[in-house]
Structure 1
Amino acid sequence: MQTPEDPALRGRARRAIPLIAAALAVALVAGLIYLRPGPRLASTATPRPSPTQSVLAGNYSVDYKFISPSVGWALIYDPSAQSARYWVFATTDGAVHWTQQVSGSAPYLNPGGLVILDRNHGFFYLGHDAAFQTSDGGHRWTRISLPPQTYGNVWFVDAQHWWYQGLTPKADPSQGVDTVFLATADGGVTWTPLPPPPAPELLVFRNRSEAWSALEMVGNESLQPTVYSTHDGAQSWQAHVLPVGAVDAAANQFSESGVELLPGGGVLALKGFTAYASFDGGDTWRVLAPAPVGNTYTDMAFAAEDDWWAMHEGVLFKSRDRGQSWREVALQFDSWEYRVQVLDSRHAWARLRQSGSRQTLSGLAFTVDGGLNWTNANVPRPG
């Protein structure tokens, strides 16, 4: 195991649920599935029981990133301790074995994430006291020096191009915070100030030039949301007004907004339960079919431009027409929530989560047949 190392300064610094008898579990879960409210889609699915699995119990948050059926990383952090702890693990044999690469603790961890660019390059960010990068697949993780704001969020697009939003509370808390938005093209050696994006908390980058920002409402009276894009590295932003009258105020008043990037250059814009897609850079938009029962468009995974997956509650739905219709494909006899990362049309990994009255369980599963069958995998275990 390796502990983090500081490089030379390069510049200034983001419950256990008791298991019940198998027969009772199958009967109960099956009953709940068929009593689930809402319309059902035409189904050709066959129920498939899930095998006994390896689970991680406790107040852990786990983020997995796989680049192939065999190679992946896991970032685990536990914010419950007085000094919050984090661990990074790697596997090269499809989660049969996990190797701990780095661990540490910090007084405060900000829920950030794990970014893996390729087999060698990656980052993880949990705040100023836990921001690291690797250029050798995680054999060595080195600390990143970020700008000095109290709080922040960082977007790692490639090994050299990063964007950073820094927040510093004002002396008078009622006056809010001071905000800066910066970019680096040399891996953090120098930073250039940029105009703030329209909604940086939901900003997503496709590459060093193209990024999209969250929906906002146009005017106090309008229900017409707007998406913003940049094609010059966040130096300027273009507004894309979405179709008039598509958003239902009652259904969307307290729902989330956001932007998701699609394969092939498309973009998905979300306002509550309404989803729009554009495949021409935002010039035209269309409203998509409602998400399948138990899912929202924030749960989607995309194997290809015309191969979309939704499986939040363990029922796999797929769309072959870019969100115009959905078909039920497979059903798991379990009570896990699935968060799917699709590699291609046949291979995918799923982060599993199950919450109870006392603690949370998390697991891991993979498929090699397009989601018809899932095999539970070993989870890394922090020590």
Structure 2
Amino acid sequence: MATRSLLGTSDGGRSWHQLGEPDKPIRSVHFVSPTQGWGIAGGTDPQSVHGWLVPKEGATLVTTRDGGVTWSPLDGPSNPQTVCFSDSVQGWVGTQRDGVYRYQNIAQGQSWSLALQRPDQPAADLGATTLIQCAGSQALWVLFLGGGAAMSHSPYIAYATANGSSWRAVLNEPMTMHQAGVPPGPDSYPPSFSAVDPGDAVFVGDGPATNVAQCVIASAGGASLRRTGAIQNASETFAAAFTSVTTGWVLTRNGGGDYVIDATTDGGYHWSEQLAVPPTSAG
């Protein structure tokens, strides 16, 4: 995804070419093969949220079978914000108000069903968001953001499922969510996260009051949490990408306003700066 267009590559990123788009601009995409993918198109007031461009409301679900050259609308839940598919017959959509819907294309036909209800009911104007990442044939990691903030706390709660039906509350912001028995997350603001596999995910960030991005590794489907290290001088994170529970990268912003890519190879115990770009250069 580029700022104003959809780009594709067929040589590992050495070269890029512009792809097609539906009538409304695509906000995010998820592909299960070089040709088959799904996207969120249109919608009002799109905002960048931890690696996703998330519309507030009015978006639609679209799909492609030719690698993004052409797109067609797909019936689904109203006001979708994020989408991912495990394969051509099973997928998920995160919505602003309801929560997470599951799509299944089985012998009896295609269907959508509400798989995970939001535990809160935030006001529409607070910017509630549902972020999702597929992690296997039936596995999904979810991060609900409540929107709004007060006293350096902003509500969020993460869930995980390995089978698509039973869910575990993994971590949350305890001062605002009030979910008994759910462990606290990395810090007081919603973190960036990266699903590694059905059992593991990494959460990093966000602490405006502490000015660090704390790393928490969730294992065993969220049953076990391990706090490792922290990225110093990083009160805000924008995205995280981990290829394993030890190796990953996080896009942050330091106190001077520079956009920084930090990397770890030991599960977040230690971090090294890979690239820093001044805000005037990043745009």
Normalising by structure 1, report the TM-score: 0.50
- What amino acid does structure 2 have at the position aligned with 1:342? F
1:275 aligned partner, one-letter code: A
1:284 equivalent among 160, 166, 170: 166
Q: Is the 8 A contact 1:259 1:267 kept in 2?
A: no
Quote how far apart the aligned CAs of 1:340 are.
Answer: 3.2
Partner residue of 2:254? 354
1:266 paired residue number: 139
Structure 2 match to 1:319 = 218
- Report the CA distance between 1:261 and its aligned residue: 2.4
- Which structure 2 residues correspond to residues 66-85 of structure 1 after superposition, within 5 A? none
Question: Alpha carbons of 1:132 and 1:293: their partners in 2 closer, same or farther (altered >3 Å)?
Answer: closer
Kept in 1, the 8 Å contact 2:64–2:72? The answer is yes
1:261 and 1:374, CA in 2 relative to 1: closer, same or farther beyond 3 A?
same
What is the percent sequence identity of the aligned residues? 22
Contact 2:81–2:129 (CA<8 Å) still a contact in 1? Answer: no
Cα distance, 1:228 vs structure 2: 0.9
Deviation at 1:206, TM superposition (A): 3.4
Alignment correspondent of 1:53: none
The one of 93, 100, 107 equivalent to 1:227 is 100
Which runs of structure 2 are paired with 1:362-377 in the superposition (5 Å)?
A: 362-377=259-274
Indicate which of 276, 285, 294 corresponds to 2:187.
Answer: 294
Residue 340 (str. 1) matches residue 214 (str. 2): no
Larger radius of gyration between Structure 1 and Structure 2: 1
Q: Deviations over 1:331-361 (max 9, x none)?
A: 45434534432121321122221256xxx21
Residues 1:298 and 1:237: Cα distance change in structure 2 (over 3 Å): farther
- Amino acid in structure 1 at the alignment position of 2:2: Y
Equivalent-residue separation in structure 2 for 1:361 and 1:380 (angstroms): 5
Deviation at 1:183, TM superposition (A): 2.5
Change (3 A) 1:195 1:320: closer
Change (3 A) 1:351 1:180: closer
Report deviation, 1:253: 9.4
In the TM superposition, residue 142 of structure 1 has moved relative to its aligned partner by 1.6
Check the 8 A contact 2:92/2:103 in 1, yes or no.
yes
SS in 1 for 2:13: coil
The equivalent of 1:155 in structure 2 is: 29
Q: CA offset at residue 208 of structure 1? A: 3.5
Deviation at 1:314, TM superposition (A): 2.5
The whole-number CA distance in structure 1 between the counterparts of 2:125 and 2:58 is: 28
1:210 to 81, 85, 90: 90
Give SS of 1:314's match. strand
Q: Which residue of 2 aligns with 1:143?
A: 18
1:154–1:162 Cα contact (<8 Å) kept: no
Distance 1:379 1:135, change over 3 A: farther
Change (3 A) 1:239 1:344: same
Match of 1:197 in 2: 77
Verify the 8 A CA contact 2:20 2:70 in the aligned structure 1. Answer: no
Task: Please name the residue that 1:117 is paired with.
Answer: none
Computed over aligned residues only, the root mean square deviation of the Cα atoms, in angstroms, reads 3.9
For the Cα contact (< 8 Å) 2:168–2:222, is it kept in 1? Answer: no
- Assess if the C-alpha contact under 8 Å between 2:38 and 2:63 holds in 1: yes
More strand by share: 2
Offset, 1:229: 0.9
Runs of at least 5 residues in structure 1 that lack an aligned partner in the other structure: 1-123, 170-176, 218-224
Supply the distance in 1 between the matched residues of 2:59 and 2:245 (Cα, whole angstroms): 42
> Equivalents in 2 of 1:295, 1:275: separation in Å?
13
2: distance between equivalents of 1:249 and 1:182?
A: 27
The CA distance in 1 between the partners of 2:231 and 2:191, in whole Å, is 21
CA deviation string 1:58-109 (max 9, x = no partner): xxxxxxxxxxxxxxxxxxxxxxxxxxxxxxxxxxxxxxxxxxxxxxxxxxxx
Any gaps of 5 or more consecutive residues in structure 2?
Answer: 45-56, 147-155, 171-181, 206-211
| Counterpart-to-counterpart distance in 2, 1:291 and 1:251 | 23
- What is residue 126 of structure 1 aligned with on the other side? 3
State the AA in 1 paired with 2:104: H
Query: Measured at CA, do residues 133 and 370 of structure 1 come closer, stay the same or move farther in structure 2, by a change above 3 Å?
Result: same
Q: Closer, same or farther in 2 for the Cα pair 1:348/1:181, shift >3 Å?
A: closer
Shift of 1:193: 4.0
Distance of aligned partners of 1:145 and 1:202 in 2 relative to their CA distance in 1, 3 Å threshold: closer
CA distance in 1, matches of 2:228, 2:269: 7
Given that residues 77 and 95 in structure 2 are in contact (C-alpha distance below 8 angstroms), is that contact kept between their aligned partners in structure 1?
no
State the TM-score, normalized to the length of structure 2.
0.65
Letter in 1 for 2:218: S
Does structure 2 conserve the Cα–Cα contact (< 8 Å) formed by 1:212 and 1:259?
no
SS in 2 for 1:322: helix
CA contact (8 A) 2:186 2:215 kept: no
Offset of residue 310 of structure 1: 2.5
Helix, strand or coil at the partner of 2:111: coil
Question: Whole-Å Cα distance in 2 between the matches of residues 268 and 160 of structure 1?
Answer: 24
Flag the structure with more relative contact order, 1 or 2, with Cα contacts below 8 A and sequence separation at least 6. Answer: 1
- 1:285, CA displacement in angstroms? 2.5
- Does the 8 A contact of 1:215 with 1:270 survive in 2? no
